[in-house]
A and B are shown apart, each in its own frame.
Chain A
Amino acid sequence: MTDLTDLTVAEIRDGFRAGDFSAREVAEGFNANVAAAKALNAFIVETPEKALEAADAADKAKASGETLGQLAGVPIGMKDLFCTQGVQTTAASHMLEGFVPTYESTVSGKLWAAGAGMLGKLNLDQFAMGSSNETSYFGDVISPWRRNDGGNASLAPGGSSGGSSSAISARLCPAATGTDTGGSIRQPAAFTGISGIKPTYGRCSRWGVVAFASSLDQAGPMARTVRDNAILLEVMSGFDPKDSTSLDLAVPQWEANLSSDLKGKKVGIPKEYRPDGLNAEISAMWDRGIEWLKDAGAEVVEVSLPHTKYALPTYYIIAPAEASSNLARYDGVRYGQRDLPDGAGLQDMYAATRALGFGPEVKRRIMVGTYVLSAGFYDAYYTQAQKVRALIARDFEQAFEKCDLMLTPTAPSASFALGEKQADPLAMYLNDVFTVPASLAGLPAMAVPGGLDSAGLPIGLQIIGKALDEQTVLNAALAIEERAGFSARPDKWW
């Protein structure tokens, strides 16, 4: 019998419905993998009982002939940025350690309503701030991948959805939720050889997701196949009256409309994404991607996104600015950590609580954000950044008059060793150089694996689509997936 934990979401869903196996068998399989993978530190909280509960419900529903939810029998991992009723939600911070929400985020609620079960709460960079999952209060997440140089260096699973990427590539769960503010789904997916899509801003409700940067935060799925992403995204999307920025649009049938035939589609190659000194293997992978899309029937055109070089600085003004305000609510008054030194007044309590509850990267961004919003600097930084953001969005609009989708690298390199970039925040921020522009423009973008580099590590490609055109993004990713035939998986060492 095949190992059920090797199956994709679609295979589990279909196999369960066909009666090839029970939902309980699937859940038990993944629970066992989770329990055996402590070394990866992918989970902050494990909830095997939740996975079994959902599985038993699915088995019972099937036995009694009830209509099954789209994800009946499928256990998944939940990034610990989504508030889950009755289950600790921390955003990987000390600040929220022990915080147990009385409410369920809209997106996680939709997944449970569709029959999915929760394997646990996945580790992440603290408050989703980071690109290597080294900022979690609950420790680094380790990538299951290792270099083929015989060394045992622990590698970064990417961030901030590093628990999700690590767990999926290690077969601890077939799929997971992620959130993406500047690349937090796509870059970890690329680092671990899986797929993940950030939909158009507003597709997935932000209600109940711990906020990092409101105008950028967007939830999305991560899984091993494009089809699995389509399946999950359909469940996660949809209008939510509780989120003013939620799009009041019907959810398309992305899975049913998957097609890798790209005849008639034009693929734009943004020339600004190929700077001097671009990693040769990344560059070569990009060229291969272009050939694959041509092979799928697409026409390739060069396009220009002239303001690309300003995207990263713009992002690192806007995101911290919003974060500095969004994180003001963690003040020790109502929930979460409180540090009240003897004789402390209110101001002292704030200072002590926030000094204790936030990690260094979070503090750095709060300080940067506070600075760029302060009197005398606001216009030079925040206002200017908003203007550039509008120009970046306009770049995409104009480029999309000449093409239907764009193909770019996802990250400037393959995964790096933990600790390697810790000392230099700017080097870390450069990881987001290819993912940030689509975030600023609110466009759908997806990472899909292309192959392994010379060190044996996955590298991926990014598809960027027009607003609301997730279908074309998924279809192009499918075309690459079919041609890349990426089947590498990390050798189990944990």
Chain B
Amino acid sequence: MTESTYRIQGATGEWEVVIGLEVHAQVTSNAKLFSGAATAFGAEPNTQVSLVDAAMPGMLPVPNMECIRQAVRTGMAIDAQINKWSRFDRKNYFYADLPQGYQISQLYHPIVGEGQIEIVLDEKNPEASTKVIGVERIHVEQDAGKLMHDQHPTRSYVDLNRSGVALMEIVSKPDMRSPAEAGAYLSKLRTILRYVGSCDGNMDQGSMRADVNVSVRRPGEEFGTRTETKNVNSVRFVMAVVEHEASRQVDVLEAGGKIVQETRLYDPDRNETRSMRSKEDAHDYRYFPDPDLLPLELDDAFLEACRQSLPELPDAKLRRYAQDLGLSAYNAATLTADADTARWFEALLAEGARIQKKSEGEVAKASANWLLSELYGALNRLGKSLEDSPVSPEEGAELLALIADGTISGTIAKQVFEIMLETGDKPGKIVEEKGLKQTSDTGAIEAAVADVLAKNGDKVEQYRGGKEALFGFFVGQTMKAMQGKANPQVVNELVKKALAG
């Protein structure tokens, strides 16, 4: 565990920032939390609305157990207490996007209790930069609809497609102390949600958004008054909000002012937060248990099934990559930061081990390096993601096997890979058709070496006179003469022998 040294230098001394995040994550499910209506993103307004979502008279909510299951699995993934008995409450307020006049949520008895998330601030130095952030609770609740103010000069329209969609509200403890920690927490939470499959984590589509609670204090003193900046929808923006809001608060306090506990909005264009116009009165939500719903009681079999369905989680996977596969801490972190990347890597690994008849540990390093440098480089260039990679894990593994068994050199492999990207052909076929197989024919290589030495008599003299750095030059010239197809190890040996001669 590390202590943050992030401080804001005010005119009157140092300030420490205290951050807590409330993350709303849309539960991945085909249907809404209490109705059978669909949840597709981007559908035409009011086409994903059931009678329940529109709060027609006499309609009743029925919990969608898939949403409950996903919340429980998420809780298990952050080592949280799962409450076998939880209950739904109504949060009462009037707004045009809230058809029932109340949101069904869980105030008093959330489904998931305390848990924790481990963040790493410097992936190259994990031991020295790991911190555990507490999670207070996770509860499930309904999303509201959406108001559209730009459709008519004097009227607003209501789209109820999102009304009733299941959200998990994941509430952290006020354990973060810097923008970097807040960013790392949100990224890590997103990673976990995507591993578990309980939320797609698409922040730009609004499936994940954060309310950022920020306060400042003199180091070691009591918590200050906090503000809450609502609906921040990217990791970068969360970090910007913390930075901006903390320094704003310091300015206020140092000018002798007081921080007002209030809700603020972030304006990414101006990179500032501003106070939301306060509603007429402070809201009294009149929470009370929803009488349309029975308490939610989960049995052991359900919990066990949830546990069994969990995949290997990012922390465990990272440890395994570093310890069992021998990858560097950085590579292990990069490969496990995203569920899709890890899945791709493991497919590459499995196929590589299979065709090379080796253990996964034996092929891991070369596979990781190739994926992170060659493949990522190519994808970046092409503006593609791993999901739509033109090369499959199987093809990648075949290419790596050709290098490993000496059929082609690393240099030729780069050429082959380019051709794979262009044509979609399999590496073996490319090597065969283009005659790229490397040679270990010592006779041919010896001839080439002799030729190179003969043409560069002056350099031979210099080398023999002690300028050993020229060794690489002779190797390079030989490889060039062999059109890159010579086995580099054999070339090394023969060049050394000839120069010694």
Using a CB–CB cutoff of 8 Å, the interface residues on chain A facing chain B are: 82-83, 89, 91, 96, 99, 101-103, 105, 206-211, 213-215, 241-245, 321-322, 324-325, 327-329, 331, 333-335, 346-347, 350, 370, 373-375, 378, 382
Contact = CB atoms under 8 A, between A and B. Distances in A.
Contact of B62 (A83, A244, A321, A328): A244
B280 interface: yes
17 contacts: A82-B58, A101-B56, A102-B51, A103-B56, A105-B58, A244-B62, A244-B294, A245-B292, A322-B291, A325-B101, A325-B288, A329-B55, A329-B99, A331-B94, A334-B158, A350-B94, A373-B287
Contacts of B51: 102-103
Contacts of B284: 374-375
Contact of A328 (B57, B60, B102): B102
A209 B292 CA distance: 12
Contacts, number: 98
Contacts of B99: 329, 333-334
A242 B94 contact: no
Contact of A96 (B57, B62, B291): B57
A333 B96 contact: yes
A96 B56 CA distance: 11
A89 B57 contact: yes
Interface residues of B, number: 31
Contacts of B94: 328, 331, 347, 350
Interface in B83-125: 90, 92, 94-96, 99-102
A327 B99 CA distance: 11
A378 B57 CA distance: 27
A322 B56 CA distance: 17
A329 B100 contact: yes
Contacts of A374: 284, 286
A160 to B, nearest CB: 16
Contacts of A382: 288
Contact of B57 (A101, A243, A324, A325): A101
Contacts of A328: 92, 94, 100-102
| A interface, over-half SS | loop
B78 interface: no
Contact of B58 (A209, A370, A378): A209
A147 to B, nearest CB: 38
A101 B96 CA distance: 21
Among B55, B156, B286, the one with the most A-chain Cβ atoms within 10 Å of its Cβ is B286
A324 B92 CA distance: 9
Contacts of B286: 324-325, 370, 373-375, 378
Contacts of A346: 95-96, 156
A371 to B, nearest CB: 10
A82 B57 CA distance: 9
B54 interface: yes
A210 B57 contact: yes
B61 A244 contact: yes
Interface of B: 51, 54-63, 90, 92, 94-96, 99-102, 156, 158, 280, 284, 286-288, 291-294
Contacts of B288: 321, 325, 373, 378, 382
Nearest to B286: A373
For the complex of A and B, 4 pairs with smallest distance between CB atoms: A328-B101, A214-B291, A373-B286, A215-B291
B291 A213 contact: yes
A101 B294 CA distance: 27
A347 B100 CA distance: 16
Contacts of A214: 291-292
Contacts of B90: 325
A105 B58 CA distance: 8
Given A208-B58, A324-B92, 12 more contacts: A91-B57, A103-B51, A211-B292, A244-B62, A244-B294, A325-B102, A329-B101, A334-B56, A334-B158, A373-B288, A374-B284, A378-B286
Contact of A244 (B58, B102, B280, B292): B292
A334 B160 CA distance: 11
A373 B58 contact: no
Given A325-B92, A325-B286, A370-B286, A244 B56 contact: no
A322 B286 CA distance: 11
B282 to A, nearest CB: 9
A207 B96 contact: no
A406 B109 CA distance: 37
Nearest to A103: B51
Contacts of A322: 291
Nearest to A81: B58
B49 to A, nearest CB: 10
A347 B101 CA distance: 13
Among A209, A213, A244, A322, the one with the most B-chain Cβ atoms within 10 Å of its Cβ is A244
Contacts of A82: 58
A373 B288 CA distance: 7
B430 to A, nearest CB: 59
